[in-house]
Amino acid sequence: MNMMSYDVVVIGGGPAGMAAALKSKEYGCTVALLERDADLGGILNQCIHPGFGVEYFKEELAGPEYAGRFTDLVNSAGIDVYIQTMVTAVNPERSVMAINQNGVMQISAGAVVLAMGCRERTRGAIMIPGYRPAGVMTAGIAQRYINIENLKPGSKAVIVGSGDIGLIMARRMYLEGIQVLGVYEIMPYVNGLIRNVKQCLEDFAIPLYLSETVIDIQGKGRLSGVVTARVDENFRPVSGTEKHIECDLLLLSVGLIPENDLSVRVGVELNTATQGPLVNNGLETNVPGIFACGNVLHVHDVVDNVTREALKAGEQAARYAKKTGVKPKEPRKILAGENIRYTVPNYYHPGAGEKVDICFRVSRPISDGYLVVSSPERVILEGKPRGFRPGEMEKFSLSPKLQGKDCSDVILSVRRRSNGN
Amino acid sequence: MERYDVAIIGAGIVGTATAWKLARYKIKTVLLEALPDLACGTTKANGGIIHAGYDPKTGTLKAKLNVQGASEYPVLAEQLGFRYKQTGSLVVGFNEQDEQYLKMEYQNGKANGVPDLKIIYGEEIRALEPRINPQATVALHAPTAGVLDPFEAAYAFAENAHQNGVDVYFQFKVTGITRKSDGFVLHSSSGNVEAGMVVNAAGVYSDVVAALAGSQDFTVTPRIGEILVLDKEISNPVRNVIFPIPSPTKGKGIVVIPTVSGNVLVSATARNIEDKENISTSREGLQELLQGGRKLVADISAGQVIREFSGLRAVSSAGEDFNIGPTPGIRGFITAGGIQSPGLASAPAIASLIRDCLAEEGLVLREKPDYNPLRKAGVRFSALSAEEQDRLIKENPDYGQIVCRCEYVTAGEIIDAIKTPLGATTIDGVKRRSRAGMGRCQGGFCQPRILAILSRYLQKPPEQIWLEYADSPVVMGMLKGGCRQ
């Protein structure tokens, strides 16, 4: 067994892991970056569509290009990269067990950054009844078959769920000559980004059905068809609205779940709203010296935000490993109030003189609302009126001035201006 | 045409156990399976409970074979290298009427010869099962009950039979049976075999197979049962198989079952249907399972569900009991019909009974001197210590490459699953042998990789690799511009 030691060990070599590793390295740490796949880049490698890097690089890149830029930086930074290396366990004393084709490694780490990304929700998780034929798969698997393996997953497709991967795959399949019969979304609104609805569905005349879903899957060997139906306000199928659709491919784009198996086993507490770790404004989990960033923390819609978050985690992990962090005071809570599904972080340490960057998502679309930041005693700030959508991650910075002298818990809410939404 | 002493029709748990039982004798045996793999019917889709045997009515075949079979499994698991866990079981009651019922079950179990049964109350129940619904007041505890993965047991039986000389044919669907003076000819679209005697272990199709031989004695009605698979539980897992008080119409009811791999099953609904191949799930059924599960373990939630499936119980018109024995008027044709619960628990004993029936029909059984009763279990990488893992990877680097990241299954184990005799030829065959794809992401990461490994080792293009059944390709060929190397 190979015993090693690093200041910072980063688990996962996608965009989050690469940025965190680079930042830790910049702070003078020895860094190991552990990636289970054969290449760095994570899921970006199969995202061959454009739209990446607009914020961070100020230009529009394809996924592999975005990954490639960071891969080059990582490879020239003096970071020890271990590919095809799978972490099997982490313990609270930050000993990391990993395996690859050379054997088992035990790495003792000054700090650990969790950057394992997320996985797709499956048919099983959303309990679509019916048969279990071949031809039912997540949008991400279909994306891999098409973009990496050059294999055709089917010829006539229905997509259930309007997550971004599903929208992007609708266009991708169309371009590969696969007939896309429609996208069925159980909610009354789209889950993905508006730009993807326009560029991936509307531009190709692919129909989008809101408040409709797949209620039955047919076919004993290969998928032969699905039944769709409208749903009521409790998401129950409305009898009489059933439609039978002949198809041989059903793609699911019904949400992403942070991949926290390792984190839970080391004792990291999760936020039930995100399924990602509860963290403070240094992105540190409840287990000291273990940090989290990227989609393992909460699901992002734009990779540029992942990079920004991961740079912060890399910096904080380096400070922890080098013991240069300020000893924080008792943390204050950042709470999700009215119409807020979640916030990241969930705590902040007052008095550090730093702004606290907060990401949040609303729990439902609000066309005419405004952000309210308050403490239990008073309203700290009210934002300008505008629209909010669950599909778009929102950002807000709590400046030292706004934290105020009292440095109390902070509650974020979005209030409606009028009765309509 | 190949001639055998015995042909077994159906490679489910009964067929494979019978093949294993017969493999020790100097006879030529063949196991015929209509589907592309072992254990693809009822066997793959049940709760995997080895019932203690208190439930079947005393004096029935079910009672006798269940108790006998359950007592054999712990030893068989060792010899044949499959996982078996003696969890114990609880039948849970909530009131005095339930208590009366449990006392009757206790007496019935005693009469059946089930060891160590006990009626327990309140805190005793919670000590054994902290997750139990707090309203439970009384329970029948059967410490000898256990669980296994039924397909794993079937693979073990079949592989041991095969290594001791039993032939196995897949996709051999018997479409006709001709009776001859010295036995039978079994016809299929892929050829015929001749056999002196036949064992009909065709599950929900056992009535169809019997009819092909000329017996109209019984019909089989499929009774569909839906099952939920819950994610692995890291803290405070369910420990026992937990039953409700059975209802006259719903059989054993909805049961909460901890599996050998650390998942929990909620199993099963019960509804008679007509189509022998309808293994669909229904919205109502899935809701019924969640509600039923919560009556026993209150904190079960939809969020824990990672998969749903269903299977068919073979309900025979010949009666509630197992219908095992010679067929009147057809010498040498042994039927194993109506093998529903506790069929899995009884399987080793059913196999012994079938052997005895064959002997009574005139089959001469002499033991082989070179019979090997042992089968080595395959590598299960995730269960090894770090030192053992390190040693294994140095012997074979394929074990250092994790393919299924939810279950930590390595490329080495997947290759083993394919290369083992009677190995996997399908995605689901790999899944059931190695657990790759059984985790919470349900193959979302590993399916394309498993497809590639299957394609390489079977030397077939990806579009000819099936998910499970015949003609169930997961991909339809190359995209434009592709060319094969």
Which of B:3-42 have CB within 8 Å of A?
Answer: none
| pLDDT of B196 above 80 | yes
Q: CA-CA distance, B67 to B423, in Å (whole number)? A: 31
User: Do B480 and A176 make contact, defined as CB atoms within 8 angstroms?
Assistant: yes
Averaged pLDDT of chain A: 94
Q: CA-CA distance, B75 to A158, in Å (whole number)? A: 50
Convert the pLDDT of each residue in A109-160 to its tens digit: 999 999 999 999 999 999 999 999 999 999 999 999 999 999 999 999 999 9
Interface pTM, i.e. ipTM = 0.94
Average pLDDT over residues A259-272: 96
Burial label for A288, CB within 10 Å (0-12, 13-18, 19+), is exposed
Q: What pLDDT does residue A326 have? A: 64
Which chain B residue lies closest to A215 (C-alpha atoms)? B283
Q: What pLDDT does residue B330 have? A: 96
User: Do B478 and A176 make contact, defined as CB atoms within 8 angstroms?
Assistant: no
Q: What pLDDT does residue B399 have? A: 98
Closest by CA position to B33, among listed B152, B172, B165: B172
B233 and chain A in contact, CB less than 8 A: no
Q: What pLDDT does residue A350 have? A: 79
Contacts of B308 in chain A (CB under 8 A): 124, 127, 129
Q: What pLDDT does residue A349 have? A: 85
Contacts of A234 in chain B (CB under 8 A): none
| pLDDT of A54 above 60 | yes
User: Do B444 and A99 make contact, defined as CB atoms within 8 angstroms?
Assistant: no
Residue B365: HSE in the Cβ half-sphere, 13 Å Cα cutoff: 19
Radius of gyration for chain B, computed over Cα atoms and rounded to the nearest angstrom: 23
Separation in Å, CA B334 to CA A274, B68, B206, B357: 58, 20, 11, 7
- Do residues B196 and B365 make contact, with C-beta atoms less than 8 angstroms apart? no
User: Do B397 and A101 make contact, defined as CB atoms within 8 angstroms?
Assistant: yes
Count of residues in chain A = 421
| pLDDT of A211 above 70 | yes
Separation in Å, CA B207 to CA B37, B210, B211, B219, B323: 21, 5, 6, 5, 11
Which chain B residue lies closest to A154 (C-alpha atoms)? B476
Binning pLDDT at 50, 70 and 90, where does residue A403 land? confident
Q: Min CA distance, A406 vs chain B (Å)?
A: 39
| Position A207, amino acid | P
Binning pLDDT at 50, 70 and 90, where does residue B324 land? very high
Convert the pLDDT of each residue in A14-40 to its tens digit: 999 999 999 999 999 999 999 999 999
- Do residues B301 and B135 make contact, with C-beta atoms less than 8 angstroms apart? no
Report helix, strand or coil for A290. Answer: strand
Q: What is the 3-state secondary structure (H, E, C) of B149-161?
A: CHHHHHHHHHHHH
Averaged pLDDT of chain B: 96
B466 and chain A in contact, CB less than 8 A: yes
Q: CA-CA distance, B308 to A284, in Å (whole number)? A: 37
| pLDDT of A421 above 50 | no
**In sequence order, what are the beta bridge partners of B414?**
none
Q: Which of A87, A122, A224 to mutate to test the interface with B (most CBs of B within 10 A)?
A: A122
Q: Which of B230, B232, B280, B407 to mutate to test the interface with A (most CBs of A within 10 A)?
A: B280
| Position B39, amino acid | A
User: Do A153 and B308 make contact, defined as CB atoms within 8 angstroms?
Assistant: no
Residues 6+ apart with CB under 8 A from A34: A9, A10, A11, A12, A13, A82, A85, A86, A87, A96, A98
Count chain A–chain B contacts defined by CB atoms under 8 A: 147
User: Do A134 and B472 make contact, defined as CB atoms within 8 angstroms?
Assistant: yes
Contacts of B401 in chain A (CB under 8 A): 84, 100-101
| pLDDT of A327 above 70 | no
B478 and chain A in contact, CB less than 8 A: yes
- Do residues B255 and B243 make contact, with C-beta atoms less than 8 angstroms apart? yes
User: Do A101 and B401 make contact, defined as CB atoms within 8 angstroms?
Assistant: yes
B51 in active site: yes
Joined together, the tokens standing for residue A275 give 């399924």
Convert the pLDDT of each residue in B409-462 to its tens digit: 999 999 999 999 999 999 999 999 999 999 999 998 999 999 999 999 999 999
Q: What is the 3-state secondary structure (H, E, C) of B272-296?
A: ECCCCCCCCECHHHHHHHHHHHHHH
Q: CA-CA distance, B46 to B265, in Å (whole number)? A: 9
Convert the pLDDT of each residue in B343-379 to its tens digit: 999 999 999 999 999 999 999 999 999 999 999 999 9
Q: What pLDDT does residue B288 have? A: 96
Q: Min CA distance, B13 vs chain A (Å)?
A: 22
Q: CA-CA distance, A97 to A32, in Å (whole number)? A: 13
Q: CA-CA distance, A376 to B411, in Å (whole number)? A: 55
Q: What pLDDT does residue B58 have? A: 96
Contacts of A153 in chain B (CB under 8 A): 474-476
Joined together, the tokens standing for residue B454 give 């299957």
Predicted TM-score (pTM) above 0.80: yes
Closest by CA position to A127, among listed B429, B288, B466, B313: B288
| Position A355, amino acid | K
User: What percent of chain A is predicted at pLDDT more than 90?
Assistant: 89
- Do residues A393 and A343 make contact, with C-beta atoms less than 8 angstroms apart? no
User: Do A123 and B277 make contact, defined as CB atoms within 8 angstroms?
Assistant: no
Q: What pLDDT does residue A324 have? A: 81
Residue with tokens 């650990």: A112
Joined together, the tokens standing for residue A140 give 């991400």
Contacts of A39 in chain B (CB under 8 A): none
Residue with tokens 């067994």: A1
Radius of gyration for chain A, computed over Cα atoms and rounded to the nearest angstrom: 22
User: Do A261 and B406 make contact, defined as CB atoms within 8 angstroms?
Assistant: yes
| pLDDT of A411 above 50 | yes
Average pLDDT over residues A317-344: 89
Count of residues in chain B = 485
B402 and chain A in contact, CB less than 8 A: yes
User: What percent of chain A is predicted at pLDDT more than 70?
Assistant: 98
Query: What phi and psi values does residue B110 have, to the nearest 5 degrees?
Result: -55, -50
